Structure 1
């Protein structure tokens, strides 16, 4: 039995500190003077900056619960604007405002402005302060210069690939060439532009040089502003001839007929839109 009036024995101060530290998740030790210190406390706690629990302590913000969609909207608007440019819905020399185009596409003006800035970098439009964006007029000289640069890049690569790539690899690209034929047959300019670039990109992709593919694709896209103009019948004839060159080139590559490959590749750049 405990003696009446006896005060319960108190724990040592160091034990109290250890118990308090344990409740806070810290570890203590007793120094030579009997005092306790936090060994594992983080640097920011030691310096007086309170630690923030959870992922935000290391990353600044917690990971988002859902992926953001703004880039997706901008990308869709950019594709729609490119199709409108290729199809002639946005005419060279005309000025278009972001709010008006946003209303047309059912989005706010912000993703339209962002997409138009990208098109400005590609040379398809130019900024008109306080008004909007003017569709660039491309003359024959500029289009000829683009064709010349593309030829300087693509012709040597195609001739090298013609000597080294096996026939079965070329044969696998036939559906892409056929897609250009189908688009040309119905004079669908936007569809043809995409199919044309996909075919050329796949050809150059066999080189394994992705930087080459990206540079060539940028030049190819620039050469498509503005596109074929005039009556629909004339546009269709030009596209059909261009697509036929794709099929003939692919046949020559499968057969490894180097003189024909060289002739077709050079003619494709100097005499057509492809």
Structure 2
């Protein structure tokens, strides 16, 4: 029979999109695209909405033509399984330190905390075991893995080897207006950091990095980098919890990086990217 208990305060799963919020001061920053970039974005469009060659711009109807509107395709309904919600909640509890490294937790006890049976909790914990976040303890439950500074430093080094050259390459090829589209994600990290919500910050931080790397078009790279990023967010075996000031400093690097990318200042981009990953092992 499994033994152990969960600590108070393990939170429910987060709703998708819960971190796309306005900055802590309630204001959104305007993303100004340089004049040259705006000209490139126009892609040869002429006044009056026509493209070169006399064709109407995308989405416009030529004179004398009739179009038949069609009903929009139905959106796929997002159905989140109980196991998925429990998995999200457990990951948040890991980041928050509510699940303590070295402690053993039983599926029935955690299930009682969440108001569900032990089965979805056990399935979620088995997934975390595959990821290396917990270890299976036969007849008892799951022990939260204990990590030291060396493992965190190694993860930061591998992440830098993957992400730094990709980001520098994207800085040279991605137009400014594409970077502007990532502004809400960067500001979401600032919002989470401002209130000291480590779990919310972890999610928004990974969302920002995923969005940047997605511009590379390499899905395998995005998946590998995201998994390394997730593992780097688990708490250390000992030491103080991440401070609010540390979260704010990290979040400010996201917004500064976007500013440099929009202005296409490659020197500043390179310095910020390397500095950002140099601090990832702290």
TM norm. shorter chain > 0.5: yes
Other-structure match for 1:169: 178
- Contact between 1:229 and 1:235, CA under 8 Å: does it hold in 2? no
Q: Please give the alpha-carbon distance, in whole angstroms, between the structure 2 residues aligned to 1:273 and 1:189.
A: 16
Q: Secondary structure at the match of 2:142?
A: strand
Structure 2 residue 167 is the aligned partner of structure 1 residue 158: yes
**Counterpart selection for 1:104 from 106, 110, 113:** 113
Structure 2 residue 105 is the aligned partner of structure 1 residue 121: no
CA drift at 1:229: 5.8
CA drift at 1:230: 2.7
1:123-175: CA deviation from partner (whole Å, max 9, x where unpaired): 11111111111111111100000001100100110010000000000011001
Structure 2 residue 209 is the aligned partner of structure 1 residue 211: no
Q: Please give the alpha-carbon distance, in whole angstroms, between the structure 2 residues aligned to 1:166 and 1:75.
A: 36
Structure 1 residues not aligned, in runs of 5+: 1-66
The ranges of structure 1 where at least 4 consecutive aligned residues each deviate by more than 3 angstroms after the TM superposition are: none
**Counterpart mapping for 1:36-185 below 5 A:** 72-185=81-194
Give aligned pairs, total: 204
Give TM-score, length-normalised by structure 1.
Answer: 0.71
Q: Please give the alpha-carbon distance, in whole angstroms, between the structure 2 residues aligned to 1:150 and 1:272.
A: 9
Pick 1 or 2: higher relative contact order, CA cutoff 8 A, min separation 6. 2
Q: Please give the alpha-carbon distance, in whole angstroms, between the structure 1 residues aligned to 2:106 and 2:278.
A: 36
**Counterpart selection for 2:250 from 225, 242, 258:** 242
CA drift at 1:100: 0.4
- Contact between 2:94 and 2:100, CA under 8 Å: does it hold in 1? yes
Q: Secondary structure at the match of 1:127?
A: strand
- Contact between 2:182 and 2:211, CA under 8 Å: does it hold in 1? yes
Root-mean-square deviation (Å):
1.9
Change (3 A) 1:75 1:214: same
Other-structure match for 2:259: 251
CA drift at 1:272: 3.2
- Contact between 1:242 and 1:273, CA under 8 Å: does it hold in 2? no
Indicate the structure with greater helix content: 1
Q: Which one has the largest radius of gyration?
A: 1
Structure 2 residues not aligned, in runs of 5+: 1-76
- Contact between 2:153 and 2:281, CA under 8 Å: does it hold in 1? no
- Contact between 1:74 and 1:112, CA under 8 Å: does it hold in 2? yes
- Contact between 1:93 and 1:134, CA under 8 Å: does it hold in 2? yes
